[in-house]
Structures are given as structure tokens and as C-alpha cells.
Amino acid sequence: MTKLPTLNSLADDLEAGRTSARKLTEECLARIADPAGEGQRTFIHVDKEAALNAAEAMDRLRKAKAAPSRFAGIPISIKDLFDIKGQVTRAGSRALEDSAPAEADAPVVARLRRAGFIVIGRTNMTEFAFSGIGINPHYGTPKGAWRRSEGHIPGGSSSGAAVSVLDGMAHGALGTDTGGSCRIPAAYNGIVGYKPTQRRIPLDGGVPLSFSLDSYGPLARSVGCCAILDAVLADEPVTPLRQRPIKGVRLAVPTTIVLDELDEPVAQTFDRVLSTLSRLGAEIEHIEVPEFLDAGPINSKGGFAAAESYAWHRYLLTSKGDVYDPRVSVRILRGEAISAADYIDMLNARRSLISRINARLASYDALVLPTTANTPPRIADLAADDKAFTRANLRSLRNCSLINLIDGCAISLPAHKEGEVPVGFMLAAPGGADRRIFELAAAFEGVIRV
């Protein structure tokens, strides 16, 4: 596949008149409509006319030197979890099909529009965002990057978001991340996915999974692309991303949980990347992080996702539970058995965990770990085997979900070499270190696949 452009290169082409918003949008629409491609499974809804009209408007504004930003006219996709004015938000489910259309854009969608990005359509996802696999029995499952003819999972829950970027159906994507849902599909498809510090980006206008753990972030082709989209989502200025020097950077490799039972390609790739960074002068220290062991007790009854999703879904499950994906409803229903006292215990345990882990990591620039423990399995191997599905789901989510639990920020970078199975390399830090993570990732992305 031809190497696809970055947001900055597209912006340069738009400014120089080498392309137009109309042309970019038509190209993306053509890829979506290609019967030989994954468009039908990647998008739940494509708003062709609105996208073309918006593109023409951006071209006129640019001609009048009034474009709202240098990125005006670039098509992006929106996960089906977000409100778009005049459209039904289905969250990848059939249970919400008869809901009223949204009266307004979600704040994050409105911010992207305000910068001039073109909303090309709504991407497929795990129903109600409740798995890291990406299989959707209602709308189909887009095939991931690895050996596409065999049909490997795209990762979830932002499955369509990742494939839309991978296949050039959009040049960036808005996803969500409750336990890895931006980073897992990014890792499985060889792109970049970012989970921001939760408090930086408003959660209004999206169907929640876990009020405590949800965050909204971008998936894109480069660290720079994700940094641009992240700034827009956070309503911060888009500023040039400088690379932090690798020499002298202090990296912590947790030896607790995150290196257990890695697939061989994941372990080999991770070791190779650490060797490369060490050779370039990074100071890498393997450390125990016993705080990660707290995740087991906190999640023993289903954790925040079960408790908080059940609170949102309990009436809908009563009336329409029969149309839910059973693998989703069974996980939500675990929340029915979580008492108020249990929930308060979880809140207190998490508060203590965050305080202790922030102190432990204060002297390091970043944690580094494999994004997932596994490589993407085949869709067919999981479709009818609940045990295989559950095991793959837990292994996909395990490392990423720890960062949500500690209220951190994290990015997944593609770390495999050309032709190898996709493997993600994750940089993470306590909440508030978003810019530092982007600057480190910008330095790393050009060297870790050599």
C-alpha cells in the first residue's frame, strides 16, 4: 500500500494549491465505497453530501484567505459513540436505532468542525465500546491490517476508527479509550493511538462506558497527527511538536504484570526497541510496580466499567436486552451485583493507587511497555468460541487498562518492522504529562522500527 500522508503534509498541499478539500473528500469517499475494501464494515453511516458541501465551503474560505485553520478541509472519521447534530448515535448497537437524532454536536465534534475538519462519517465499533477485540455482530467486523485475507481482528473498541485511517478512508479519527480502545486498534493496525489525561477533554455528547475511566482521543498515522488532533480536542493551540533528546531520558519498564505471558513477536519486538533506545542513550530501568497488583481486587466484581455501565444501561437492558450482543450484556450485568459500598471501596482504592503510583513514577520521564500482550488473532477463531474470545480480550486490554486506572496518559506507536505482525510500543505517564509523552514519542517513532 502507498504510504499515506500526514495532517501536516496535507495542510501543506492545501495551502500550496496542490490539492483541495473537495478532492481529498472525494478520494476518501471513493475508498469507502470500494466494494473490494473494508468500507461497508468500517462505517455505520457515511454523510456523503454533507461532507462534500463542507469541503466546498472550506475551499471557498481558503480561497478567500479565511480558512479556520491550516487543516481546514481534511476529512476525518467519528466513532459511532459521539453525537453529531441530526444523526442517531447508535454506539455500535441496534438497541438505540429508534433514538431521537442528536440536537447538537458533541463538544469534541464541534471543536473538530470549528478547525475546519470534514466529518466523513461514523465508524463501526464494539457495541457500547465494551471490548478490546472489535467484533460487532450487528454491523460486521472490519478486517485488521495483518494478513487481511485471513481476517484478523481490528482491535476495539475503536475498530472502524483505526481501519478508516489505515485504509485512507479518513486522514484521522476520533475514538474513545476506557481501557485501551484507541491504543489497542492502533497497535493491531500499525498506526498511532493516543489516550489523553481524562480531565483535558470534555466527555459530554458521547455514550459513556465508564464515567471514571473514559477518555476521548485520536487515532492517526503519526505522533504529530495525534498531537494536532489532541490539541484541537482539548481546545488548546496547535503548536509545533519538538522532539525530546533520547540521550539521558529516564524510562521505567514495569516488571509487574505487563511483561507476563507475552506472545513471542511482542516480546522480541519490545526487547529490540529497548535495545535501540538504550544504544541511543536512554536510561532504562526495570522496576517493580506493586501498585499494579491493586487492579485485581478493584476489578474483581467487574470494576468501574461494570458498575457505571450498568447504571446507564439498566433500563435499556430491561426493554431491549434481547438485541444486545450477549458478550456485551453479560459484562454490563456484572454491575448489578456491585453494591454502593463496593463502589465506594473501589473509589477509595483507586484514589490511593493513583497517589502511590504518582510518587513511584515521579523521577521517570515515562513508563514503557508493550501495548498489548498478544498479536491480533483471527476473527473466525473468536467468533464462536467464548473462552477464546474472553482470553484474547483480557490479553488485549490488560496493559492499556492499567493506565486508565491510574488516570494517566499514554500513546501507542507501531514498533514492528515492515512485513512483520503489528506490535505496539506504549509510552505512558501519570495524568498531566501529555505534552512530555508527545515529545518523547516524536523522538522515538523515527528510530524504533529500524
Catalytic residues: 79, 157, 181
Helix (H, G, I), strand (E, B) or coil at 347: helix
Per the structure block, which three cell numbers stand in for 92? Answer: 455500535
Q: Return the number of other C-beta atoms located less than 10 Å from residue 343's C-beta.
A: 17
How deeply is 286 buried, as exposed, middle or buried, from its count of CB atoms within 10 A (0-12, 13-18, 19+)? exposed
Contact assessment for residue 114 and residue 54, using Cβ atoms and an 8 Å cutoff: no
Beta strands in 163-273 (DSSP E): 173-176, 192-195, 216-220, 250-254
Q: How far is CA 402 from the centre of its chain?
A: 15
Helices of type H across 34-182? 39-42, 48-63, 107-114, 159-166
Beta bridge partners of 250: 283
Helices of type H across 234-322? 264-279, 295-298, 303-320
Q: How far apart are CA 175 and CA 233, in angstroms?
A: 11
Helix (H, G, I), strand (E, B) or coil at 285: strand
Helix (H) or strand (E) holding 414: strand 408-414
Q: 118 — phi, psi (to 5°)?
A: -95, 120
Q: How far apart are CA 227 and CA 315, in angstroms?
A: 38
Q: How far apart are CA 439 and CA 35, in angstroms?
A: 40
Q: How far is CA 224 from the centre of its chain?
A: 15
Q: Which of 315, 351, 346, 352 is nearest to 332 (CA)?
A: 315
Q: Which of 337, 279, 271 is nearest to 307 (CA)?
A: 337
CB-based contacts of 101-104 (< 8 A; 24+ apart in sequence): 102/205, 104/205
